[in-house]
């Protein structure tokens, strides 16, 4: 029974198999349509086509982000595998470190070809690295891409930064720094240069009795400070503490070292001065100083080709001329492995010597100018009247730029110069913004004449009081000095006598008859309220507001209200009055010279604008300014009574609204017409010092003497001898408090000890 069943099943399977075998049909058996029928077309085969994105778009986005240093945007284009293996910080640092090491300045790229597959692609590109120190480096490279969710992603590796950077390799730049360029005065006297130097100091209590006269004279001989100055330094110091005397070049010190050897309490410490400033800085606010590169600016400076241990210009000519003074660094760019072993050198450039900068001023004149305002908080500016050349600029108190070198032992005992209450590092000549007071009456006179509201012959009664505004009574300076009122004055005499009521009236009439900007607009035409353009130095613009009511206009008439000016602006517009109306750009650099002695750039006068005043009216102002000095009724007559030079000037005393004394101003120019000594314009400002005629006018007179005669000829009211003050504070109205006993170093100053 079982066998029968099995056989039956086999038979069924065989029959089924035979029924699945089809015979090829005979063509004659195929159906042929009749002529009236239309055959049904066979359907087209369906093919699935997927469009692959262009991989060069992703590659270009990656390279564009690299060019713009958008490292996080680059990272967003990486594949999952790359992101898992490389952190964003590592990725960013890899590119940033390479850019810093090669001093990358600019990067350009070009996609050259691509190979596209359904799941992976490759894009070839050429990149050019434009660097500061290594020149141009060109590399051909490949970007591998993978498809993720229909988007191409970058398969990243270190060699995409630079083909040589595989297996942990990195770049190292070896930089050779040339010596910094020298800053000279206009005659070639070095003012800032590299040399060996000595720090000189003393502990007064350790000096033997009876040695002080010789020791102070020796200090004076070495440092250039007068015996009186050194004695005053002693008086301000604690006898048991180290007192900074100054810095001396190695040549000078070593020639005199034996004279100091036997003194107790004297400390002489050698140091390598990366930057040495003559006499602590002749014209220090113009020269400026150098400082170490800070942590905040280190990376940016490295990208510019600097080493992080360098010192760079931080103020004045040192900062302005950094590119000239730094020279060109020599450099070699290396590829090193993870252990620091050199694999390859990619480039090498040689160092080039820096340029030298010559200033527009003379070292001796500038030195004397600084001494002329010593002991005051003051500023003085001397311009060549007809060119804008800065012949001198002093801001007091000054500071010793050598103390900013931390290799200098004295720097540890100098205190904090930046936070000193007297702000010695602040350039009062270009950054100090002050009310101008009566010197502004020059501009008021110009506005009165130009608008036609007054003629030069018009008169006005100059009394003690002025009452032309309801409920307001103002007064003249003669009342404060218990002097008879000036009486009836024409406009020229009003400037000569500095009559406040005349200029109150001018401010009022200009506001009411011409417009609120009549006087302030004239001030702006004189260059106030804007920068002078002295590009080598830091400066402030001051402030000139249009008065918004008549009382403000009246106050502006005498240079008060919200008006603020810098001494440089005042010297500039006074020079323009003297030269016939041209405002020149003040300049501090005479020439820039390369290592071969070739002049790269030289001073040229640069006229910026003309005063908005007619030649006729300028002549009237000139004449009035001359009477300030020459007419017995002029406010500065007594100061210049024995002066032989042709001077045109104006006094000024500006209220500070602080409860302290007024700021003392005096500004003017010479009209000598000499070929050997070009005419000059001078502005003097002394903070909280009182009357311009008492303080600033004598300083002006000394500047004239120093310029034309090479030495001071007359004394200030606060001096017992030239540069020897009666008191520690040269204020003529104060007297010194007697000391109960004399300190051992208080010697009597002698002419022999003076320079």
Q: How confident is the model at residue 687 (pLDDT cuts 50, 70, 90)?
A: very high
Q: Confirm if 278 and 439 have CB atoms less than 8 A apart.
A: no
Tokens of 509: 């009439």
Which H or E run contains 372?
A: helix 363-372
Q: For residue 731, is pLDDT > 60?
A: no
Instruction: Work out whether strand 356-359 and strand 183-184 pair parallel, antiparallel, or are unpaired.
Output: parallel
Angle of helix 212-223 relative to helix 227-236, nearest 10 degrees, comes to 110
Q: How many CB atoms lie under 10 A from the CB of residue 326?
A: 20
Instruction: With beta carbons less than 8 A apart as the criterion, state whether 243 and 237 touch.
Output: yes
Longest Cα–Cα distance in the chain:
161
Beta bridge partners of 664: 653, 686
Residue 302 contacts residue 295 (beta carbons within 8 Å): no
Q: Which residues share a beta bridge with 140?
A: 126
Residue 435 phi, psi dihedral angles, 5° rounding = -65, 145
Question: Is pLDDT at 32 greater than 90 in this prediction?
Answer: no
Q: Are 204 and 356 in contact (CB under 8 A)?
A: no
At 525, which helix (H) or strand (E)?
Answer: helix 518-525
Per-residue model confidence as pLDDT tens digits over 507-541: 999 999 999 999 999 999 999 999 999 999 999 99
Residue 625 CA to its chain's centroid (Å): 35
Angular region, 96: left φ>0, alpha ψ -120 to 50, beta rest = alpha
Tokens of 276: 């040495």
H runs (alpha helix) in 21-164:
55-67, 71-75, 80-85, 88-101
pLDDT range class, residue 232, cuts 50, 70, 90: confident
Q: What's the CA gap between 628 and 636, in Å, rounded?
A: 6
Average pLDDT over residues 415-431: 86
Strand partners, 120: 146
Residue 724 within a domain: no
For residues 369, 375, 377, 382, the Cα torsion angle rounded to the nearest 10 degrees is -10
- 438 conformational bin, left if phi > 0, alpha if psi -120 to 50, beta if neither: alpha
pLDDT tens column, 338-389: 999 999 999 999 999 999 999 999 999 999 999 999 989 999 999 999 999 9
In Å, how far from its chain's centre is CA 136? 31
Alpha carbons 438 and 426: distance in angstroms, whole number? 25
Number of domains the chain is built from: 2
How far the first Cα of the chain sits from its last, in Å, is 148
Residue 392, phi then psi, degrees to nearest 5: -175, 150
Burial tier of 261 (Cβ tally within 10 Å: 0-12, 13-18, 19+): exposed
d(CA 85, CA 79): 10
Task: Name residues whose C-beta falls within 8 Å of residue 78's C-beta, 6 or more positions apart in sequence.
Answer: 86, 91, 153, 154, 155, 156
Q: How far apart are CA 483 and CA 480, in angstroms?
A: 8
In a domain, 223, yes or no: no
User: CA-to-CA distance for 463 and 466, rounded, in angstroms?
Assistant: 7
For residue 370, give the H/E element and its range.
helix 363-372
Mean pLDDT for the stretch of residues 269-280: 93
Q: Which domain holds residue 568?
A: 437-612
- In-domain check, residue 583: yes
pLDDT tens track for 161-212: 999 999 999 999 999 999 999 999 999 999 999 999 999 999 999 999 888 8
Q: Among residues 394, 47, 327, 324, which one has the least CA distance to residue 177?
A: 327
Distance CA 540, CA 316 (A): 14
CATH of the domain at 73: 3.10.450.100
pLDDT-based confidence at 417, cuts 50/70/90? Answer: confident
Residue 265 lies in a domain: no
Report the pLDDT value the prediction gives residue 235, as an integer from 0 to 100. Answer: 85
Residues 191 and 735: their CA atoms lie apart, in Å, by 37
Which has the closest alpha carbon to 136: 342, 330, 346, 300? 346
In degrees and rounded to multiples of 5, residue 289 shows phi and psi of: -160, 170
Give the end of a domain, one of 116, 131, 166: 166
739 has pLDDT over 80: no
Sequential DSSP letters for 232-263? HHHHHS-TTS-EEEEEEEHHHHHHHHHHHTT-
Position 394 in a domain: no
* Separation in Å, CA 293 to CA 277, 298, 300, 312, 388: 19, 6, 10, 7, 34
**Nearest Cα residue to 109 out of 78, 65, 79:** 65
Please state whether beta strands 104-116 and 724-725 pair in parallel, antiparallel, or not at all (unpaired).
unpaired
pLDDT at position 656: 82
Residue 584 · residue 531 · CB < 8 Å = no
| CB 315 within 8 Å of CB 289 | yes
112 is written with which tokens?
A: 């050259």
Do 651 and 694 contact (CB within 8 A), yes or no?
no
Question: What's 630's DSSP letter?
Answer: H
| Average pLDDT, rounded, for the chain | 89
pLDDT tens per residue, range 424-479: 999 999 999 999 999 999 999 999 999 999 999 999 999 999 999 999 999 999 99
Can you give the pLDDT at residue 13?
40
Element (H, E) at 312: strand 311-315
Helix (H, G, I), strand (E, B) or coil at 510: helix
Please state, in angstroms and rounded to a whole number, the distance separating the CA atoms of residues 604 and 612: 24
Last residue of a domain, which of 166, 201, 228? 166
* Nearest-angstrom CA–CA distance, 476 and 495: 13
pLDDT of 29 above 50: no
Which among 324, 314, 301, 536 is positioned nearest to 404, based on CA atoms? 314
Q: What residue spans of 158-297 are helical by DSSP H?
A: 212-223, 227-236, 250-260, 284-287
Listing DSSP states for 572-604 in one string gives: HHHHHHHHTSEEEPPB-EEEEE-TTS-EEEE--
The percentage of the chain sitting over the pLDDT mark of 90, rounded to a whole number, equals 81
Radius of gyration in angstroms for the set of CA atoms belonging to the chain, rounded to a whole number: 41
Distance CA 395, CA 183 (A): 19
CA–CA separation, 417 and 425 (whole Å): 7
Q: How many CB atoms lie within 10 A of CB 495?
A: 27
What are the CA-CA distances from residue 316 to residues 30, 290, 319, 361, 445 (Å)? 106, 10, 5, 14, 35
Number of C-beta neighbours around residue 635 at 10 A: 27
pLDDT at residue 753, rounded to an integer: 34
Q: Give the pLDDT confidence score for residue 50 in this predicted structure.
A: 55
Mean pLDDT of 303-329: 95
In a domain, 468, yes or no: yes
Kindly state whether residue 558 falls inside one of the protein's structural domains.
Answer: yes
Give CA separation, 11 vs 19, 20, 505, in Å. 13, 15, 138
pTM of the model: 0.86
**Residue 590, domain CATH:** 3.40.710.10
Of all residues in the chain, what percent carry a pLDDT higher than 70? 89
Specify burial of residue 177 (Cβ count, 10 A radius: 0-12, 13-18, 19+). Answer: middle
Residue 548 in any domain: the answer is yes
617 or 720: whose pLDDT is higher?
Answer: 617
* Last residue within a domain, chosen from 612, 632, 658: 612
Going by C-alpha positions, the residue among 360, 352, 303 that lies closest to residue 330 is 352
CB burial of residue 222 (10 Å; 0-12, 13-18, 19+)? buried
Question: Mean pLDDT throughout 264-276?
Answer: 93
């Amino acid at each position: 029974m079982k066998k029968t069943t099995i056989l039956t099943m086999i038979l069924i399977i065989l029959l089924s198999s035979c029924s699945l075998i089809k015979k090829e049909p005979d063509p004659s058996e195929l159906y042929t349509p009749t002529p009236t029928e239309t055959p049904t077309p066979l359907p087209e085969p369906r093919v699935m086509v997927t469009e692959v994105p262009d991989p060069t778009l992703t590659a270009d986005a990656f390279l564009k982000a690299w060019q713009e240093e958008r490292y996080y945007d680059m990272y967003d284009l990486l594949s999952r595998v790359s992101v898992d293996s490389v952190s964003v910080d590592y990725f960013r640092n890899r590119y940033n470190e390479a850019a810093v090491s090669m001093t990358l300045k600019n990067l350009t790229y070009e996609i050259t070809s691509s190979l596209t597959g359904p799941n992976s692609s490759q894009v070839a590109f050429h990149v050019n690295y434009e660097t500061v120190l290594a020149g141009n480096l060109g590399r051909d490279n490949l970007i591998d891409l993978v498809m993720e969710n229909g988007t191409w992603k970058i398969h990243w590796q270190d060699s995409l930064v630079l083909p040589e950077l595989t297996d942990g390799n990195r770049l190292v730049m070896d930089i050779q720094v040339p010596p910094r360029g020298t800053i000279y005065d206009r005659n070639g006297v070095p003012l800032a240069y590299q040399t060996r130097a000595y720090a000189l100091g003393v502990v007064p209590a350790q000096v033997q009795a009876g040695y002080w006269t010789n020791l102070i004279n020796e200090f004076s001989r070495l440092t250039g400070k007068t015996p009186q100055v050194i004695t005053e330094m002693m008086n301000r110091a604690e006898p048991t503490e180290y007192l900074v005397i100054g810095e001396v070049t190695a040549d000078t010190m070593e020639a005199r070292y034996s004279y100091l050897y036997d003194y107790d309490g004297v400390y002489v410490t050698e140091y390598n001065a990366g930057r040495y400033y003559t006499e602590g800085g002749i014209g220090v606010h113009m020269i400026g100083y150098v400082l170490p590169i800070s942590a905040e600016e280190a990376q940016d400076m490295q990208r510019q080709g600097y080493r992080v241990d360098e010192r760079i210009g931080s103020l004045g000519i040192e900062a302005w001329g950094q590119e000239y003074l730094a020279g060109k660094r020599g450099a070699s760019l290396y590829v090193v492995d993870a252990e620091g072993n050199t694999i390859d050198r990619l480039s090498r450039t040689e160092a080039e010597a820096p340029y030298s900068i010559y200033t527009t001023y003379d070292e001796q004149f500038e030195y004397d100018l600084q001494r002329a305002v010593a002991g005051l908080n003051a500023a003085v500016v001397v311009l060549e009247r007809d060119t804008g050349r800065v012949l001198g600029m002093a801001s007091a108190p000054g500071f010793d730029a050598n103390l900013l070198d931390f290799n200098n032992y004295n720097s540890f005992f100098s205190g904090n110069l930046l936070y000193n209450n007297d702000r010695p590092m602040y350039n009062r000549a270009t950054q100090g913004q002050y009310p101008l007071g009566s010197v502004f009456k020059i501009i008021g006179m110009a506005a009165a004449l130009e608008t036609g509201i007054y003629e030069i012959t018009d008169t006005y009664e100059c009394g003690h009081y002025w009452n032309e505004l309801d409920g307001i009574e103002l007064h003249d300076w003669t009342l404060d000095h218990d002097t008879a009122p000036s009486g009836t004055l024409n406009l020229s005499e009003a400037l000569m006598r500095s009559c406040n009521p005349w200029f109150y009236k001018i401010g009022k009439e200009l506001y009411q008859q011409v417009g609120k900007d009549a006087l302030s607009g004239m001030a702006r035409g004189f260059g106030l309220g804007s920068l002078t353009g002295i590009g080598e130095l830091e400066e402030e613009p001051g402030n000139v507001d249009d008065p918004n009511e008549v009382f403000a206009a009246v106050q502006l008439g005498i240079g008060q209200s919200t008006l603020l000016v810098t001494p440089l602006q005042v010297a500039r517009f006074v020079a323009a009055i003297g030269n016939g109306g041209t405002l020149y750009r003040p300049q501090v650099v005479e020439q820039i010279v390369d290592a071969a002695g070739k002049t790269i750039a030289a001073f040229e006068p640069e006229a910026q604008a003309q005063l908005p005043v007619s030649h006729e009216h300028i002549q009237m102002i000139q004449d009035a300014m001359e009477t300030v000095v020459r007419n017995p009724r002029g406010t500065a007559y007594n100061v210049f009574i024995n002066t032989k030079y042709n001077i045109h000037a104006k006094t000024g005393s500006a209220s500070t609204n602080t409860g302290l004394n007024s700021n003392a101003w005096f500004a003017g120019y010479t009209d000598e017409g000499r070929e050997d000594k070009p005419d000059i314009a001078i502005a003097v400002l002394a903070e909280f010092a009182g009357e311009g005629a008492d303080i600033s006018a004598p300083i002006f007179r000394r500047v004239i003497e120093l310029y034309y005669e090479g030495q001071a000829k007359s004394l200030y009211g606060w001096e017992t001898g030239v540069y020897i003050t009666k008191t520690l504070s040269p204020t003529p109205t104060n007297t010194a408090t007697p000391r109960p006993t004399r300190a051992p170093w208080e010697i009597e100053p002698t002419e022999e000890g003076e320079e």
